Amino acid sequence: MTVVAITGASSGIGEATARELAARGAAVVLGARRTDRLEALAGDIRRQGGRAAVRAVDVTSRDDLAALVNLAVDEFGRLDVLVGNAGISRISPVADLDVDGWSAMIDVNVRGVLHGLAAALPVFERQRRGHFVTTISTAGLKITPTMAVYAGTKNAVRTVLEGLRTESTAGWLRTTSISPGYVRTELASSIDDPDLREQIQTSMNEFALDPEAVARAIAFAIEQPADVEIGDLTIRPASQN
Ligand SMILES: NC(=O)c1ccc[n+]([C@@H]2O[C@H](COP(=O)([O-])OP(=O)(O)OC[C@H]3O[C@@H](n4cnc5c(N)ncnc54)[C@H](OP(=O)(O)O)[C@@H]3O)[C@@H](O)[C@H]2O)c1
């Protein structure tokens, strides 16, 4: 049994990943702020014979991430994988100077992932086994208007995971950065500007991937033999430019 903790498990990619991995036999440890959603998801998973534990997590709190990792160890004896997936996209043109939005993205998308690393790495070291998976974005590969700061947060995480990879060649730590293109989720709800929100929502409705596609990519990376590290995976709708 693989034990996987997932941040941002209350909707979208995180929720789909929890369902996919639980269906494949993993025990899942679910973190997000909307615990009603997490409880409902855990209930579904348990009804289908799976194992799930739930904790309220705000990834901007280092203590919350430590508690999520501890829950995995207390309930299931260890943590094999942490999926650092929680994220927000308060996108806008740089010239709008949405400093609050920038700060919020840095707090959730960058600090949130770092808090996960800080919580899980000591456990992985003790176990001599562990895997960090994170959801970054194609926004960081093809930089488009309104996405500059969002893309910057995603590329900061890309850089940190690649750095950690180069520091971790003893063979027991794996890192995977998943870069999705448009995925049909609730992500657009964090966009303040109504026109921009509508525009992104329209793209999502028109050609975005279902979150299950990303969940399957995450499962693929996790299920490789322990000596095989899938470093980067890009997964877009075939019609995305
Ligand atoms: N959808 C796309 O097109 C797309 C493309 C590339 C990358 N991504 C990335 O994929 C990841 C998942 O997003 P999604 O598309 O699945 O969107 P989503 O449906 O909005 O899910 C975002 C998740 O992040 C959680 N979250 C947000 N702020 C949080 C915080 N402070 N603490 C804990 N959890 C928090 C939310 O849970 P609560 O609100 O319950 O806390 C929710 O579960 C994000 O990192 C996003 O940047 C998405």
Tens digits of pLDDT across the chain (241 residues): 999 999 999 999 999 999 999 999 999 999 999 999 999 999 999 999 999 999 999 999 999 999 999 999 999 999 999 999 999 999 999 999 999 999 999 999 999 999 999 999 999 999 999 999 999 999 999 999 999 999 999 999 999 999 999 999 889 999 999 999 999 999 999 898 899 999 999 988 889 999 999 999 999 999 999 999 999 999 999 999 8
Residue 240 domain flag: no
Residue 239 domain flag: no
- Domains of the chain: total: 1
Residue 150 among the catalytic residues:
yes
Does ligand 1 come within 6 angstroms of the Cβ of 84? no
Atom 10 (ligand 1) nearest CA: 135
Alpha-carbon distance 118 to 128, whole Å?
16
Does ligand 1 come within 6 angstroms of the Cβ of 116? no
Residue 241 domain flag: no
The first and second tokens of residue 55, run together, are 């904790």
**Total-model pTM:** 0.98
Domain range for 167 is 3-234
Q: Tell me, what CATH number does 196's domain have? A: 3.40.50.720
**Which of 124, 132, 150, 182 is flagged as catalytic?**
150
Q: Which residue has the tokens 């690393």?
A: 117
Does ligand 1 come within 6 angstroms of the Cβ of 14? yes
